Amino acid sequence: MKNKPVILCLEDEPEVRDAILRDLAPFKPVARLEAADHVEDAKEVLAASAAAGEPIGLILCDHLMPGISGVEFLVGLQQDPAYAQTRKVLITGQAGLEDTVRAVNEARLHHYIAKPWTAEELQATVRDQLTEFVLATQDDPTPFIGVLDGPRILEHIAATGRDK
């Protein structure tokens, strides 16, 4: 599969990052997993992916990190049309109501996962969100049927008559 969408996990604690990435391993056949431990690094990933022609499908972002917060990063990203279709998920144990409201209103946050998370919850969220992304951006979503939300993708294909 060429130019797989990227799932970017922005999390500063290595143990937590390891755990998230391992929980996301089932998505490897249809997405490339990238990790960043701070916002500057995340920007490098965005640049590298852009250069390689890989779209950013989903960003999983912790809130509290050195430098700017996860919410700030997502808000900044919202200004960039290149990431208009990117699904944004906050995964955090620390965001207060104010930050969360801001993330929803200004960064168009799609989902919020509270730490500690369960594998089922995380995988269900990523499956749903990535399916949304794929249906919105991919001409041919067929290769994603096996790993993402198959029935939904099939329904979509049937409805749009794009079955190839």
Partner 1 sequence: MVTTRTLLERLHEPDETVEAHLVAELDRLLGQPARQQAAADEILFQQGEELGGVIILLEGQVKLYKMINEQEVVFHSQTVGRLLGLLALSGLAHAFFNCRTITPVTYLRISVESLDRALQHSEDLQQVFLTVIMRSMARRSTRLVELQAEVLALNKNLARERDALAQTLRELQQAQSLLVESEKMATLGHLAAGVAHELNNPIAAINRSADFLQADLQALTAELPEGGVFGEMLQRALTHKPLSSREQRARRTALAEVLDDDTWAETLVEAGLEDVADYERLVTGLTGSRAERVAQLGRYYQLGSALRNIKGCSQRIAGLVKSLRGYSRADQADAAPVDIHEGLEDTLCLFTNRLRAVKVEKQFAAIPPVHGHAGELNQVWTNLIANALDAMQDSGQLTLVTAERDGEVVVQVQDNGPGIPPAHQSRIFDVRFSTRQGRMEFGLGLGLSIVRNIVSRHGGRITVGSEPGCTVFSVCLPVAHQHSIPTRNPK
| Closer residue to partner 1, CB minimum distance, 3 or 160 | 3
CB of 75 to partner 1, least distance (A): 16
| Closer residue to partner 1, CB minimum distance, 18 or 140 | 18
CA distance 91 to 74: 12
Q: Which residues bind partner 1 (CB under 8 A)?
A: 12, 14-15, 17-19, 22, 34-37, 41, 44-45, 48, 64-67, 94
Paired with 99 in beta bridges are: none
CB of 140 to partner 1, least distance (A): 21
| Closer residue to partner 1, CB minimum distance, 66 or 146 | 66
CB of 44 to partner 1, least distance (A): 7
Q: How many of the other CB atoms lie within 10 Å of CB of 102? A: 18
| Closer residue to partner 1, CB minimum distance, 16 or 154 | 16
CB of 40 to partner 1, least distance (A): 9
| Closer residue to partner 1, CB minimum distance, 31 or 135 | 31
Reduced 3-state DSSP string for the chain: CCCCCEEEEECCCHHHHHHHHHHCHHHCCCCEEEEECCHHHHHHHHHHHHHHCCCEEEEEECCCCCCCCHHHHHHHHHCCHHHCCCEEEEEECCCCHHHHHHHHHHCCCCEEEECCCCHHHHHHHHHHHHHHHHHHHCCCCHHHCCCCCHHHHHHHHHHHCCCC
CB of 85 to partner 1, least distance (A): 24
